[in-house]
Amino acid sequence: MKATISLCLAAISFLPVTQALATSGPGCLVVVNVEPGDTLNMRRQPSAASAVVDELAPGSHGIIHLDGRCEPISRPWGSRWCKVSHYNGDKVTKGWVKARYVRDSDCP
């Protein structure tokens, strides 16, 4: 029995690591407060002057995973920036979104 368990554990250790954090449970976001037909810009840095790295359409944006708390915590919620990863098919984009345009959601 011990040999079987050891063999199974050894086999598991060789499996590839996946992005489980972005595929189940809490930690995801949905886009809100964006006009119909418009998109939320994901920025390279936490600034409206920073380059746009992705556009997130409400209701059809793939998975947006919150990668840490929205900052700076000294500012009101809507004024904070949230570091996120956007999983859309095989493409993953990392960047920042303004907190006023996202809300907590369970990951699918």
pTM over 0.85: no
Decide if 26 is inside a domain: yes
Say if residues 54 and 86 touch (Cβ distance below 8 Å). Answer: yes
Cis omega (within 30 of 0) for bond into 26: no
Domain of residue 82 covers 18-107
Decide if 13 is inside a domain: no
- Domain containing 24 — which CATH number? 2.30.30.40
Decide if 87 is inside a domain: yes
**What total of structural domains would you count in the chain?**
1
End-to-end alpha-carbon separation of the chain, Å?
37
Taking the C-alpha atoms of residue 31 and residue 43, their distance in angstroms, rounded to an integer, is 14
Decide if 94 is inside a domain: yes
pLDDT tens for the chain, residues 1 to 108: 444 334 333 433 333 333 444 445 578 999 999 998 999 999 999 999 999 999 999 988 889 999 988 999 999 999 999 999 999 989 999 999 999 999 999 888
